[in-house]
Structure formats: C-alpha cells, structure tokens
Amino acid sequence: MKGKHESGGMYEEKVLDLKEHYALIDFETPVYCFKGSVIIGSKLDIDANSKQCRIAFEGELLQILTSEQRSSFSIRRLKERIGKIEKVLDSNTVLVKDLFKKETNITLFIGKKVELKGLGKSGTISSTFGKSGKIKVTTAEPIPKESTEALINSEVVMLIEKELFKSKKK
C-alpha cells in the first residue's frame, strides 16, 4: 500500500502474506497441556539483556499425539524443480533440460505430472532423452504451432512431496 506521510514524504507499507504453518514438537520429557492451549516457544540461549527477541514461535495446540501415533505420522514438504523447454519435438512432445542432473535415476519420475508454464497446461514425463538428464514431456492436447517458438526456454515445473524425518528401516 502506498501513501503520503503527514510530513509530506512518501511511504510504502508492505502487507505481509501470513500463511498457516504447522509444527510437530517432540519433547524429551512429557509436558502437560490441553488441546487448544496457546503455546509459546522461546530461545533461552540468548542473553536476557540482549535487544534480540527471544520468542521463537507462538500458536495453538491442535493435536496431541501418543508415541504410537507419532511413529505413523509423516511430515512432508513440497519441493519444486524447474527446468526449461529446449525443443518442441512434435505436436504433443517437448524436450526438457535442467530439470534433472545427469546422475539422477529419471525412471523413478516417469509418469509424473509437470506444468508447462509457457502453455499454461500440464504434461507427463514420458521418457528420458540421452544420458545428460534431459526428458521428454507429453501433453494430452496438441501444442498450437503458433506457440512453438515462444515455448523454447519457457519454464517447466515439477512439484515433489518429500517426506521429512523418515525413519530408517533396519
């Protein structure tokens, strides 16, 4: 939001985009609390006389998990990989580079959905192309001939859910 300050100078106020965040907190010793309680976490390792804020987080306790529930609980993070279209191969297939490294096992990703930003459509990873990490992406609908030039170097985005804190099986 832009405006004019009383002193005559201009100012710009930034509106924060506050999104909901969730945290799983696992204590070494039990802590007695009720569902719906307000919890506050602080950084006690910072000097109390410091001018730095010691509050780390604040929020509402939504769920209490038993140790059995905790072991089956999974936390996932959404990762985004970005590549570029190198070439339009035919009316339904494009060649994508920079989405994977040369050493990545791309066969694990065949069949995954990607978004072709230049088209505003989605496609599917259909196969590898050579050994340099390039892939072929197939679209369900044909690519208009007039937009093939504009597609070169446009972004291709793949979203991946990565499981955090995965327990290792022995």
pLDDT digits (tens, 9 = 90+) for 47-64: 878 888 888 888 899 888
pLDDT tens for 85-98 read 999 999 999 999 99
Quickly tell me which residue has 């609908």 as its tokens.
141
The residue-averaged pLDDT of 147-170 equals 81
Q: Which residues contact 61 (CB under 8 A, 6 or more apart)?
A: 33, 34, 35, 36, 37, 38, 39
Q: How confident is the model at residue 168 (pLDDT cuts 50, 70, 90)?
A: low
Domains defined along the chain, listed by start: 77-164 (2.40.10.190)
pTM of the model: 0.61
At residue 12, the pLDDT reads 47
Residue 45 has pLDDT above 50, yes or no: yes
Element (H, E) at 161: strand 155-164
With CA atoms as reference, report the closest residue to 90 among 35, 132, 148: 148
